[in-house]
Amino acid sequence: MRFIARYAKDRGRVFEIVTLYDSEVQKEQVHKEKPVIQTLSHEHPAALWFERKMQDDFGIIVEDAFDKRPLVHQEQFPKNVHPMCKDFDAKELDFSEFQPYNYEVIKGDGVFQVSVGPIHAGIIEPGHFHFSQAGEKMLHLEIRHFYTYRAIEKMLEGKTLEEAKPIIERISGNESIAYQICWRDILLQASQQELPQALQKRHAFLLELERMIHHLTDLGFIPNDAGFGAALSLGSKLAEDSRRKMKEITGHRFGFGAIDFANKFLDTVSLHEWLDSMQESIDYFEDWIIDIPSLWDRLDTTGILALKKAIKYDTVGVIAKASGLAIDRRINNFYLQNGFEAVTQLSGDVAARFKIRIAELKNSLTMMHNFLQEDDTVLTLNTLQDGEYMSFVESSMGELFMTIDIKDGVIERFFARDASFVNWQAVHLMMRNDIIADFPLINKSCDLSYAGNDL
């Protein structure tokens, strides 16, 4: 069974703990006076962050966990404050006394620590990487995040789905369409309606366009981190072209506000032409880059995640596919009929993740041709029913899971698990045989979201 998420809900006198696997949902209730649960992290190491988060958010005690350090609440966060409980309503917290965080380190003769971040050298989101080094060799890496923690789960409580939309689409900017589609699916479940095929195609087109932009950016940045700048010039040019296309179609360069229920005019002829020209550029790019041996010297065998580990850590998305795990939320009739092909690689290294991105890119282009159609369907929504809803979307990073409970017409509990949240927990496994200079390259090859992870 693949573990997907574990989260809690405040239910008055009890906490409800939901554990979600790919084939089942388990629910357990614990009394608030003795909120003790058992850890799943022995079988599913990725459960660890979920459990540490519950401990911060609700004060739930994970009795047999080997790691009970705070996760979201950092050094100066007030102690014993559990903001996801319903009785917490402060809008402001003061900094409390600095309490050092105990990093996981390896100690020994000549072993030293390197700490990087939260503010990084490049233009990138904040996060902290803590290395234990023996010379250049990385012995261990602890990844510590939640610097961009905005408490979005709490922010959304009490809002209608409509009011929540502008915030949900801004959780992680480069996955905005994916978040919007998750929101859309929850809305449709609540209104008990089916999405007309034409709208589904329009949204799927935009989702693939978003994936294209993301992959093209990475196809430039990964070689750049191995010292091959020409790829960045070409990759970022193509990414910019696609971003402008996004603006042309949706009116916004990241597609904020793009997912709605009215099918608008698409100039299908020019879009088919544009897709063909992109196809040509990408074929050229592949042909060219495959032929540069000094680049592949760096990408091959760097940052390997073995299949066994990829399964054990319940990874998803590009990382899982590069290690041989064909997990993809697009494996369904709608996508298969429109030309979806699952891609996998076996080597699990930076090169494999790079090749997955190229293959997905090409597959996206094929599907986008099929998604294009002229149509002006408009769907009018019924009134929304209260209930507990869940949805899944394959974002450019992997499986995105969102769940919303609606009570009296407003959001009672919101929870989202970005693909990054599980994948980040597997990144340290890729460092075992590499030197610290490889880290930026390995990290870039995964290109995970910080904002989506932190919420």
Partner 1 sequence: MIKFWNKRVKLGILTENPEFEDEIKTIQKEIKESVKKKFAGSLALRMVDSGSCNACEAECNALANPYYDLERLGIYFVASPRHADVMLLSGIMTFNMTPHVLEAYEQIPNPKWVITLGDCPIMQAPFERTFAIKAPAQEHIKITHHISGCPPSPKEIMQGLLEFLKKI
Task: Report the phi/psi class of residue 303: left, alpha or beta, with left for phi > 0 and alpha for psi in -120 to 50.
Answer: left
Cα(94)–Cα(85) distance, rounded to whole angstroms?
18
DSSP secondary structure of 359-387:
HHHHHHHHHHHHH------B----PPPPE
Alpha helices in 226-291 (DSSP H): 229-250, 268-289
Strand order in the sheet with 387-395: 387-395, 398-407, 410-417
Torsion of CA 414, 420, 425, 430, to 10 degrees: 170
Q: Which amino acid is at 317?
A: G
For ligand SF4 (CB under 6 A), the number of binding residues is 2
Distance of closest approach, residue 121 Cβ to ligand SF4, in angstroms: 20
From ligand SF4, partner 1, none, interface partner of 31 (C-beta below 5 to 8 A by class): none
Q: What binding mask, one character per residue, do residues 164-193 give for ligand SF4 by CB under 6 A, x or -? A: ------x--x--------------------
Q: Is 236 exposed, middle or buried (0-12, 13-18, 19+ CB in 10 A)?
A: middle
> How near is the Cβ of 173 to ligand SF4 at its closest, in Å?
5
| Closest approach of ligand SF4 to the CB of residue 454, in Å | 13
Give least dist CB 90 to partner 1, A: 5
Does 126 sit near ligand SF4 (CB under 6 A)? no
Backbone angles phi, psi at 5, to 5 degrees: -160, 160
Q: Which does 155 bind (CB under 5 to 8 A by kind): partner 1, ligand SF4, none?
A: partner 1
Which are the contacts of 442, defined by CB distance < 8 A and separation ≥ 6? 302, 303, 350, 427, 430, 431, 434
Contact partner, 346, from ligand SF4, partner 1, none, Cβ < 5-8 Å per class:
none
Site residues, partner 1 (CB under 8 A): 74, 76-77, 83, 90-93, 95, 118-119, 121-126, 146-152, 154-155, 166-167, 170-174, 176, 217, 232-233, 236-237, 239-240, 243, 253-254, 256, 284, 287-288, 449-451
Q: How far is the CB of 70 from partner 1 (least distance, A)?
A: 11
What is the C-alpha separation between 11 and 15, in angstroms, rounded?
A: 5
Separation between Cα atoms, residue 84 and residue 151, nearest integer Å: 9
With respect to partner 1, which residue has the nearer C-beta, 110 or 122? 122
253 lies in the binding site for ligand SF4 (CB under 6 A): no
Would you say how long the chain is, in residues?
A: 455
* Residue 237 binding result from partner 1, ligand SF4, none, given CB thresholds of 5 to 8 Å by partner type: partner 1
CB of residue 170 to ligand SF4, shortest distance in Å: 4
Residue (33 or 123) nearer to partner 1, CB: 123
- Shortest CB 167 distance to ligand SF4, Å: 9
Query: What is the spatial distance between Cα 89 and Cα 76, in angstroms, rounded to a whole number?
Result: 19
Q: Which residues bind ligand SF4 (CB under 6 A)?
A: 170, 173
